[in-house]
Amino acid sequence: MAGCQEPPSASLERAKKALEHASNMGAIKYAETTYRSAEQLVQQGWMEMARQKGRLGPFRNFKPADSILNLAFETANRATEEASTYVRNSEALIQAERTTLKSELSEWKEGLNGALSRNKVEHYWNAAELAYRTSEILLNNREFDEARKMVAEGKESLKKMAEMITAYDNDDSSKIHIWRRWVAETVESSRASGRYAIIVDKSKHRTYLIKGGKLIHTYDSEFGYNPAHQKMFSGDGATPEGKYYITEEKGYGRSKYYKALLINYPNASDKVRFEENKRKGYISKRARIGGLIEIHGEGGKGRDWTEGCVALTNKDMDHLMKYVGVGTPVTIVRRSDRWP
């Protein structure tokens, strides 16, 4: 620096540039306390320099101003370093969290395969993936807090998805004995009477025609767009699970879907369950139980698409209707691990 009689203009300029650099490096946001201190020191150094300029030449002493401005320069550099460290650490942390989220997304996708839709949890996985992609944009914009929040939201979505899958698996395990019993009763009744009966297995996408307790024919089948759950109310897209019988045959021209066999949904058990679900608040008090569940034609689309009916190809409907009619038992289970 120049001697004590020369204004420390170079020191002032250097401190200002250091402060500007700190600002450009994000110090105002990520090292605000240190940045504000440097900013204040620059102001103090400049004021002290101005004060000394106002004095008579022999009495001027710019050394205190020069010291303050040097301290401002060092403080501004420290603010830059603090901001850089914060950014570096934040980027590493968020990248690690994003890597974990990406790995979890892939594992769930591969592990569940088509079951994401089956378990009604696809929207949670999609929300997590959207959060992952959004976090990248926020990270690139140095919105670190928002990026971390987005990653956390993605993980929370996967957590909810896992909880729903666990609940579904528990429900599945608790009811398998009921489905086994329904199938066994249907087979035994057919064997005892020597008559036809129909068993529908939603998990296998099969409809079985039996007679005298023996398998006669198997039909590929499609169900409601929400096939993996018991029907709760009208419009839920689920195919009901229970023991029913055919109440009406609809030949060509009498059904919207080629030909159809109407079953007695809702039966007494369905009505009891529907009212109980309403009472417990599982479904809306304004929900309706619905009806018009059929085995009908127009199937063969390769996906579950009905409102809750069982869809076969038209050719299979022609075949099935040769053997069954009003009164034929129809047992629908979510899955059957023993028969056929």
141: buried, middle or exposed (CB in 10 Å: 19+, 13-18, 0-12)? exposed
Task: Give the confidence band of 59 by pLDDT, cuts at 50, 70, 90.
Answer: confident
| Whole-number Cα distances in Å, 105 to 94, 102, 111, 165, 169 | 16, 5, 10, 15, 20
Q: What is the pLDDT of residue 3?
A: 46
Task: Give the confidence band of 72 by pLDDT, cuts at 50, 70, 90.
Answer: very high
Q: What is the pLDDT of residue 1?
A: 44
129 or 166: whose pLDDT is higher? 129
Average pLDDT of span 313-330: 97
CB-based contact 197:212 (threshold 8 Å):
no
Q: What is the pLDDT of residue 311?
A: 97
At residue 260's C-alpha, the angle toward residues 247 and 186, to 5°, is 55
- Quote the longest CA-to-CA distance of the chain: 126
Give the three-class secondary structure for 1.
coil
- Of 195, 194, 191, 205, nearest to 239 by C-alpha is 205
65 or 4: whose pLDDT is higher? 65
Quick one: how far is CA 244 from the chain centroid? 35
Give the three-class secondary structure for 114.
coil
Task: Give the confidence band of 283 by pLDDT, cuts at 50, 70, 90.
Answer: confident
Got the DSSP string for 185-232?
Answer: HHHHHHHHHT-EEEEEETTTTEEEEEETTEEEEEEE-B-BSSTTS---
| Whole-number Cα distances in Å, 38 to 18, 83, 131, 300 | 9, 14, 38, 74
Q: What is the pLDDT of residue 168?
A: 76
| Whole-number Cα distances in Å, 188 to 58, 193, 329, 331, 335 | 119, 9, 12, 13, 18
Average pLDDT of span 166-176: 80
pLDDT tens, 105-126?
Answer: 998 887 766 666 666 678 888 9
**Mean pLDDT computed over every residue of the chain:** 90
